[in-house]
Amino acid sequence: MLTRPNRGQRQIDSGTVSQSALDLLYAIGEWYNGAEFHRDGQLLSIATSQPPKLQTLIECGDNFWDYRYANAFDELESLGWVRGSEDPEWILSKPVKWAPTRQGRAAIGDFFREEFIEKYEGIIRSGGGLVGYLDETLTHRTGVELCHFAGGHPISAIGDFKDHPWENIVMYPGNRRHARPDVGTANEWTSWEIITSHDDLVETAEKLMRIRGQYEYVRWLFDTRESAFRVLSFFHESDITDIQIVNAPYDNPEDYSLQIGQDVLKRSREDDAYCVNGIDQLETLQSLWDQKEHFAQTYNQKSPTKSTL
């Protein structure tokens, strides 16, 4: 059974957080940060698995869950640290009620900073004990890890990138003085941008204009098709960019398929009347997930993560 390593009490303004609630929060943080969980003969991770039940991460039976952790989960929900049953975060067609809110992510960083920085010191960027940034939802982190996982496989390779080993794929590369993609190659050849419905459209457009001058081939991964067409429409209409796309803007973005998006981008590249510089590939979380079996061999060749549970 998974429990947090430091069993000391943790205080919040309204009192003490229960030990059981902290166990759950610790498991959520490990999943968010990219740990590998060995459960029932399977290897589970944010990059390779649909989000499992929190009970699976804790690794306990139904009776023990009901005895020790059911009320603890309610405690996390009452604190506003997980999305909960009424408003789960949908990831790869699954409702994830234990997905951490921004407050929950901040609590994970506050409570487990020392433990996680020791485990993940090579990739910590926020300084708060979390891989990535505090504003990144579990959906966003799933997209980052999936792109990182997929990026080293030949099916994703373009141009010179074909000769690069898996290890050259970096999460949150670069430094704070430059635009930083979510995932990129060490030599700034190609990058992935992960965009969810929560991302600010203006900031996304501004990042497009910066990133495309830094990377030769820019890929975009969206949480849904609706998000993709909403962003493409904004790029087309905004004065921030010079993007012009065939048939844009797109009313009722939820009605368009990914294939249509890929087709209009291809047609736009082939017609000088349009401009899609910096939008070199379009995928959704689900479409890239559907390709993941092609990446399994590459994943098995990489070094294990520092945290294996």
Q: What is the pLDDT of residues 234-268, one digit of tens each?
A: 999 999 999 999 999 999 988 999 999 999 999 99
**Is residue 180 classed as helix, strand or coil in its secondary structure?**
coil
Residue in this structure with the two tokens 């060490």, named with its chain if needed: 186
Burial 241-274 (b: 16+ CB within 10 A, else e): bebebbebebeebeebebeebeebbeebbeeeeb
Nearest to 102 by CA among 48, 143, 140: 140
Task: Give the model's confidence band at 165: pLDDT under 50 very low, under 70 low, under 90 confident, else very high.
Answer: very low
Where along the chain do its domains lie? 10-123, 139-294
Q: What is the mean pLDDT of the chain?
A: 85
Task: Give the model's confidence band at 3: pLDDT under 50 very low, under 70 low, under 90 confident, else very high.
Answer: low
| pTM of the predicted structure, to 2 decimals | 0.88
**pLDDT, tens only, 69-101:** 999 999 999 999 999 999 999 999 999 999 999
DSSP letter (8 states) at residue 96: E
Bridge partners (DSSP) of residue 64 are: none
Task: Give the model's confidence band at 43: pLDDT under 50 very low, under 70 low, under 90 confident, else very high.
Answer: confident
